[in-house]
Structure 1
Amino acid sequence: MKRELYLILLLLTLSLAGKAQNDHSINPTGNFITAAPQPFLFSVNTLTGSSPYWSLNYSGSYGERTLTPFGYDGVDQQLAVKGYLGNRFTLYANAAIGFARDGGTTSSQQAELMHDFIGGKQQFGPRIGLSLGGSRDWTNVKSIFSRVTASFDAASWRFAGNLRFEKAFDKSRDGIDLVTSFGFHHRIADNFFGGVEAVGEDLEGFWEADEAEGGAKLLVGPSINYIPSGSRFGFSICGGPIIYATRSNVVPSEAIRDLSTLSQNGYTIRAQVSFNLH
């Protein structure tokens, strides 16, 4: 399985690199109407009134020595819907199913409503917002969460970052879970972007010895986003090593996490295909 996955990722990277080498002109104004509505793999950005659209996003990942999406120890799939509701409101919802190495399957769902309080009326410039949402994880534990969103789009680069606070309704979980992430892309050629993404997960592990998800975890890795000219499809890929910054003295829970691992360092690779319905 790993050999086929590496081959697919290598071919995708080579094709995107070839596209970047062949297309030398850069549109100075940018065409964000056809850009991916969800360009980053680990950070969620809001939509704007200057480019209102709905999209479907299908993503899958492969993880080694990991647990839960998108670091499932095996292969998992996720389908998400994202849309602009007007008046600077964005809806984002997803459902995931994981296929474990032992042949078992499990699922999770989450949905949230985001609103920009600063910016959000034009595509270019800064946007800062807040969200409220709920989720059901792989073991049927319900949670509510809130996310602070920040993003900045320019003609040749873009940034998005999140700070998420989560409260799980289970006495074995943490009082509050803290997850942060950011992504940066720079336009290489036309609608081909490259950059980096980083995730810091369960950061309360820095001050809680019994953190319920196994400790604070970090990931930093390369990120690519590509939109073929005139296409409604967009493609993204990102991955990297998962490193434990701290370790707790409990067995990790099965909360919805991008990086949760089996109390040891590992890695995850995640790819996404988005389809713009507008």
Structure 2
Amino acid sequence: MKKSILTLLIIALISSSVMAQLPSFSKSMNAVGNAAQPFLFSVNTFTSETPFVSISASGNYAERTAGPFGYDGVDQQLAVKGYLGNRFTLLANADLGFSRTGSTASAQQAEVIRDFVGGKSFYGARFGVGLGANRDFSSVGAVFSRITAAFESPTWRIGGNLKFEKAFAKDRDGIDLISSIGYQHRIAGAFFAGIEAVGEDLEGFWETDEAEGGAKLLLGPSLNYAPMYSRFSFSLSGGPVFYATHSTVLGSEAIRDIGTAGTQNGYSIRAMVAFNIGR
């Protein structure tokens, strides 16, 4: 009898010790579906219930496109995202691209986004506005504003961006308009799947002399896996690039998610792994 009571006391002490450690453990880890970057063509914001700092590495392979990772070839990006408090999110990245001709180029970008609706809890609706600056692969600087929108639930999520960019070059448009939207549904466990669409240089629908070659669209699958109590999350997206309109101006090397190379259609595939540093 005494041995049974002693055994029960030991089990109770061990259980209480483990339960006491669980909150601090879970705060530094991802909950199910709590991905650092669920969509690869849309930027999302952090909240007090999401990782405060994450580091991500992504790669892109494209043909007949020019994107933020390079021109027409293989490109790499390293990004840091952090929660600054008071619903502010900081995002900075650096890109290194390897073109098919053997040349290399780099680009950098940094921005700060604040949620004005939501942003305190992970689940529910969030709307934010951000400001940033970048230097593209042709060493042209630009400033931009981004509007973010998202809705998260335990079983599905939707998110999108609307970006207005002003490049400091005479051969660029006065304002470039870039939009994106993605939807994912929980398939099993922490695995989400859906679809993502991107529209770039949409001013090409009403400007025949659009400086980046015309309006372009991408539509393809979107996958995300963020296992419970793991510091890692994984994302994959991409698809064909369609040119909805064409202008007489050849495409530039502006930072574009799907870009343009001449007037041909192409495709882009992107993969990302993110690591949550924690608080």
Shift of 1:246: 0.3
Deviations 1:212-243 (A, max 9, x none): 11100001100100123432111111110000
Distance (Å, rounded) in 2 between the aligned partners of 1:34 and 1:250: 43
Aligned counterpart, 1:275: 275
Question: Residue 199 of structure 1 aligns to a residue in which SS?
Answer: strand
Deviations 1:27-54 (A, max 9, x none): xxxx647722111100001111122420
Shift of 1:152: 0.5
User: Which residue identity does 1:269 align to in structure 2?
Assistant: I
Residue 165 and residue 65 in structure 1: after superposition, are their counterparts in 2 closer, same or farther (change >3 A)? same
Equivalent residue runs for 1:2-41 within 5 Å: 32=31, 35-41=34-40
User: Which residue identity does 2:128 align to in structure 1?
Assistant: G
Alpha carbon RMSD of aligned pairs, Å? Answer: 1.3
Distance (Å, rounded) in 2 between the aligned partners of 1:120 and 1:243: 34
Distance (Å, rounded) in 2 between the aligned partners of 1:32 and 1:150: 21
Question: Residue 211 of structure 1 aligns to a residue in which SS?
Answer: coil
User: Which residue identity does 1:107 align to in structure 2?
Assistant: S
User: Which residue identity does 1:51 align to in structure 2?
Assistant: T
Equivalent residue runs for 1:76-225 within 5 Å: 76-225=75-224
Shift of 1:205: 0.4
The higher radius of gyration belongs to 2
Aligned counterpart, 1:59: 58
Distance (Å, rounded) in 2 between the aligned partners of 1:206 and 1:108: 28
Aligned counterpart, 1:265: 265
The count of aligned residue pairs is: 248
Relative to the length of structure 1, the TM-score reads 0.86
Residue 52 and residue 227 in structure 1: after superposition, are their counterparts in 2 closer, same or farther (change >3 A)? closer
Deviations 1:135-179 (A, max 9, x none): 001111110000000000111111111000000011110000000
Distance (Å, rounded) in 1 between the aligned partners of 2:170 and 2:247: 17
Shift of 1:58: 0.6
Distance (Å, rounded) in 2 between the aligned partners of 1:74 and 1:168: 24
Shift of 1:72: 3.3
Relative to the length of structure 2, the TM-score reads 0.86
| Aligned residues of 1:70 and 1:259 also touching (Cα < 8 A) | no
Shift of 1:102: 1.4
| Aligned residues of 2:69 and 2:96 also touching (Cα < 8 A) | no
Residue 34 and residue 161 in structure 1: after superposition, are their counterparts in 2 closer, same or farther (change >3 A)? closer
| Aligned residues of 2:135 and 2:141 also touching (Cα < 8 A) | yes
